[in-house]
Structure 1
Amino acid sequence: MNIQQILNDSLNISYENFNDYLNQYDLSPEEKVAAFTFYHENVKQKKAITISAEKTNNYKSIADKVEYVHLFPKNLKKIIKEYNLTSNELLVTMEILDSMMSHGNMLINFSQARLCELTEINKSTMSKVFKSLRAKKVLIENENGNLYINSVVFMKGLPHKLFIQYREHFLKSIEYKLTEEENFDQVFDAEFIKTYESNIKKIKDKKEELEQKKKDKTLKSFNETLKTELKEATEENFDLIFDEQN
């Protein structure tokens, strides 16, 4: 292989492996120096060109402002087989997915009155639809009254990419119990969920620790200020008494 070919091929070699790459060939000391010089002068330029090309071709596969969710078909089929879903229930579910569900599957900007307007379903029927969707495990309500779409059926966003403020909501949106006798298929890896919960706890603990440190620091600063003011007040009173005695 000629020296020019060796130089050209070297641009595909990482810096850590460059010396081993050159040692494959019977190069003179002068050729090695030339190779190192060529590599260092050109590899940065090559990287810059690559990065520039990647930025230029930053395409999106889905258009902006288009809502989409992940669907677990087996679990949706289980709901349909067990309970069936009426056209009104499907319409309300789709409207929630389209306009009222945040990442983490929590319902936001939600009201049944607004849903009535969007779906043209009357108030009485909407109330029945909501009761039915809860019973069929499409909707989940937690102890704080927050409503979620069951994430083992529909999921907005990917769990490992959710911002921290959505992660607890995601965990609260998981309901595997379909009926007393049957469960939904497991769609989230058990070890992942265990680690996910552990990481959230660590973040919360760290946040509480930092908040406590901030409180302690504020309290310490307050105590020091108070101590200084008391000392100054004591000294002023002492001087005043001393002046009166004289």
Structure 2
Amino acid sequence: MKNIVFKSLIAACITSMAILSTAKASMAQVDMSFLTEVAESCQKDVFSSEYYQQMGIKEVVSPTSKDSDYYVDNCIKSRYFYLLVISKLPWLVSTNEMLPGYLGSVAISRIAYENGFSQSNMLDCLASKNKDSQECINSSFDEDTFYKMYSKDTPGKFDSIFGSQGDIQPILRLAYTCPSCVIAYNNNPSRKQMIGAFIEWFTKLKPSQKKELMSILGDEKAQLANRTSMRGEADKAWNEYTALRQRLAEEEKEQRRRELLGE
């Protein structure tokens, strides 16, 4: 079991996802062990009231069958991407928290994911060592990078995770990766505080670690291509999941037909 932050990840394969372990070679571009892990845990957590309650969400309205793919989609992509990050940089899981409850590894994953197809301008911000600098203002650091909360009544808080799909994507992507990070952000609901905490965390890393991180966060052609490829692989993982699920459903349907005919 990998040391990952979505603690409810389970190791044993569930029956409905057993097909993932026998995927054909044509799916080699997606790490099927990663996909099996995140598919199992997402199927469990997306529909679990207990999962959301640990983040202090008072009311959980389960997604309808029509909308459930939207939430499982965000869960699988976010968790798969996080596994990609720590597989490339395994030492990340041993680094300190950026804030109490908010791991630096999660911050790296969030920044890289949200800037999967664009520049982040991160290096100049980090080099300034000043959360108020123009470089940080011009960087990709925004509320959505770390976690943006939406609520009609109390900014920075919310009662239910289910609502307008366009608005809650950043919520889902962090909540499904790191529940404790949601609480950490609630306790520090300030963009500048979050940037300052990240700069301080980054500054304490070894020089070799900083250089490795820029392979994911940097804006040079190769670095951007690396980030884009990782985001693309996470998207592909979701596509493989839906294709495999459809195949399983078709096989189960055919089995019922054969049983009905006594074959």
TM-score (norm 1): 0.27
Query: Which structure has the larger Rg over C-alpha atoms?
Result: 1
TM-score (norm 2): 0.26
